[in-house]
Amino acid sequence: MKKNDPIGVFDSGVGGLSVLKELLKVFPEENFKYIGDTLRMPYGVRTPKDVESSTFECLNFLAEQGVKGIVIACNTATCYGLKNAQEKLDIPVVGVVEPACSYAYLVTKNNKVALIATEGTVNSKVYEETIKKFNKNIVLKGVGAPQLVLDVENGNLNNDIVEKTITNYLNEFEDFDYDTLILGCTHFPLAREAFEKIFEKQNRKVKLVDPANRTAVALKDILRKDDLLNQEKNPKIDFFSTNNLGKFKNTVENVIDTDNEESFKEVFI
């Protein structure tokens, strides 16, 4: 591996762009390759075995592209595919669950943490198991939100459509008095303003946890230790989609603000 090798980012669709945005802040001089598995999304309703298989296929594609490290910017893929990828690939692979839990543990004051995620992530119980490593007294309650994934994929990031969807899911927490909410799907930070509007209307103070920054810092520590941090003058981002490239490209251009000219390709995996 060389310093100017790119960093790989994988998501089931466009949700990982929220993580890529943070990576670009933490790594302003790095090249990136991003793949969204738009053909097989949403991952949250698929079987653990399917998720593990699809995750590895996409990560192996990035490895073949010569990346020096990979971020799994998808909670469901992290829950079911991280361990397998770390065992089979000879490059660093980091996920988003542990960084999110470490931050939620630091900011909660009443030890009641809510999780809004895909059904697959909620059913895996990985968040409950991970956050209790930091504090066994934290109570975590999760709600699966598949429609919210689809809303974001369709570009509904801050409008009445997505606010209604979010409100319906938040109502499922009923009387659970959480003070911290983990956005446990990387699609959801793209709708952060909608979450904030809803809590403001409800006159509630809830800390929103987006795992992106902590994940980026974790990878930076690994690359620094291996002396693989880059000093690129004009870094480049390559985007890959497994389906509907035009729609994917439009969403990318609405989310990622960069002066560099990116390339977009549809790939078949």
- Residues acting as catalytic residues: 74, 185
- Return the closest-CA partner of residue 188 out of 170, 203, 214: 170
How far apart are alpha carbons 219 and 226 in whole angstroms? 11
**Rounded (10°) angle between helices 75-88 and 97-107:** 130
- Return the closest-CA partner of residue 59 out of 41, 49, 42, 73: 73
The residues pairing with 182 across neighbouring beta strands, listed in sequence order, are 115, 209
How far apart are alpha carbons 211 and 102 in whole angstroms? 9
In whole angstroms, how far apart are CA 256 and each of 17, 248, 259?
7, 12, 10
**Alpha helices by DSSP H, 110-268:** 119-124, 126-134, 146-153, 160-170, 192-201, 212-225, 245-255
- Return the closest-CA partner of residue 73 out of 88, 89, 55: 55
CB 240 within 8 Å of CB 267: yes
Cα 108–Cα 105–Cα 190 angle in degrees, nearest 5? 80
CB 65 within 8 Å of CB 33: yes
- Return the closest-CA partner of residue 27 out of 258, 251, 252: 258
